[in-house]
Amino acid sequence: MVNIPAFKLREASVFSRQVKTRMPFRFGRATMTQMPILHLKLTVETTAGRILNGVSACGIPPLWFDKGATQTHADNIYNLSLSLRLALDQYFEMDDAPVWFLHQNAEPAARASAAAKGLNELTAGFGPALVDAALIDAACRYTGVTLHMALKGNLLGYGEDFGALMPAAPTARMAVRHTVGLLDRITDADPGDPVEDGLPETLEDVVRHYKVKFFKIKISGDKSESIDRLRRIAAVLDGQAGDYRATVDGNEQFHDMGEFADFVKIAAPDPKLRELWRRTLWIEQPVARGASLIDAVTGPLREVNAFKPVIIDESDGSDEAVDRAFALGYRGITAKNCKGVFRTLHSYRRIKAVEAEGKPSPILSSEDLTNAPVVPLHQDLCVAAALGIRHSERNGHHYIIGFDVLSPKERQDALSEFPSLYRARPGGHPIVRIDDGYMSLEEINRNGFGTLTEPDWESLEPVRLPDAPADLIEESRNNP
């Protein structure tokens, strides 16, 4: 019988690290030039009395968790910090228990507290997601096994049956699905302020340098502008990217599915988009979350699915969302650690249930939240790899040189512990290594929950909860 470790939370410390983009990243109505990355260090005690740490981290990009018309980046930071505080309040109340049992008992109360304070579902889930990830990290460190092994062996208490649903081994090499942001220069001749840091800037440059074969293309709600930009992107990919594949991300920019169906009926027959459309795998969250999981979506969604399958992302605010989405006709859902590892495992389990009924397998798409090294990137890749996902949207390496903000110790640790994932470069800080469009997960898959050495805590800014939100907002304002 499996000896499932049980933990009691003893201490929690929160830290922040501000990162800046090397170029503006526009998605939806937000343009990101900087963001804080929250780091959580939990100290837990086992039933046997052993004390150890667990670590998690996640960036806070502007206007993704909550895109309300009156919301600002500062509002998002405050609310997400509040979500973390509310989650910690609940998890500290729990007696020692396996990680999954802690989640089951603390997460509903944390969500209820967040809802009472007006936080939306994605925001409410952020705090529990960070706590759960740190607990999973502690479990992997305590048992000395990888995440894949922990899930296979039910060391989180998630269920003996779940291991049988998983692949025999994690993904060893992850194909990079490169993000094409709304402000990105497409060709080398496009006007703009060059970064000139020796790394790819334009889409043409990315194709040449990284040799990626998967692309994620952001579109806006302006139909004419989006079609024109898609034509320019298609010209580059058709001419230079070889046997490529693409996905399209609407980031909730269309008011309803009928409006998006009208766009698709114009875009799909366009002769300049024929090859791009043929190579498109799916469309992600085109419609505002408030209009995406309602009964009225079914008719126009059926029309769009006739062209390409549609999946949800921002609408995935609770465990109930996946079944509601499938019932309405959506063909898949996203995997993101910022929504919670257990949310992704729940979606994976539901997808396997659909397969068991003999129906076509829904899509589980690994998506980025501009994850930067070390902890956010590693833990996100570790989950995707454990579930056998073969390609993943990655944009943190493109918009942020994460090593710029790491301490010298962290840089050296990352290079020595993960040599297949990072490479040194003359005249600049190390960067993610992408060879022929792939990232190696060799060390990610053999080091617990994707990490080995803890962050250099002395190099991060301590955050005080619940006073932390004001600190983070001030930090954001001082780094526009």
Give the pLDDT score at 426: 86
Residue in 53, 55, 8, 58 with CA at minimum distance from that of residue 36: 58
For the chain, give the percent of residues with pLDDT over 70: 96
Give the pLDDT score at 469: 45
Give the pLDDT score at 427: 83
Of 194-198, 274-278, 331-335, least confident by mean pLDDT is 194-198
Give the pLDDT score at 1: 45
Neighbouring C-alpha atoms within 13 Å toward the C-beta of 377: 28
- Under a CB-based contact definition with an 8 Å cutoff, are residues 399 and 32 in contact? yes
Give the pLDDT score at 464: 83
Q: Strand 280-284 and strand 245-249: pairing?
A: parallel
Model pLDDT for residues 17-48, shown as the tens digit of each residue? 999 999 999 999 999 999 999 999 999 999 99
Residue 187 tokens read as 């060709």
Q: Looking at the predicted structure, is the pLDDT value of residue 2 above 80?
A: no
Model pLDDT for residues 155-171, shown as the tens digit of each residue? 999 999 999 999 999 99
Give the pLDDT score at 480: 35
Give the pLDDT score at 466: 60
Residue 398 tokens read as 């493109």
Mean pLDDT of 11-15: 96
Q: Which architecture, in CATH terms, is 7-144?
A: 2-Layer Sandwich (3.30)
Model pLDDT for residues 192-230, shown as the tens digit of each residue? 999 999 999 999 999 999 999 999 999 999 999 999 999
Residue 332 tokens read as 């898949």
Mean pLDDT of 432-443: 98
The span from the CA of 319 to the CA of 346, in Å, is 7
Give the pLDDT score at 470: 46
Mean pLDDT of 55-83: 96
Q: Give the three-state DSSP class for 335.
A: strand
Superfamily of domain 162-454, CATH level 4: Enolase-like C-terminal domain (3.20.20.120)
Residue spans of the domains in the chain: they are 7-144, 162-454
The span from the CA of 21 to the CA of 397, in Å, is 10
**pLDDT-derived band at 428, boundaries 50, 70, 90:** confident
The span from the CA of 186 to the CA of 234, in Å, is 10
Q: Strand 332-335 and strand 310-312: pairing?
A: parallel
Could you tell me the end-to-end alpha-carbon distance of the chain, in angstroms, rounded to an integer? 54
Mean pLDDT of 74-100: 96
Q: Give the three-state DSSP class for 94.
A: coil
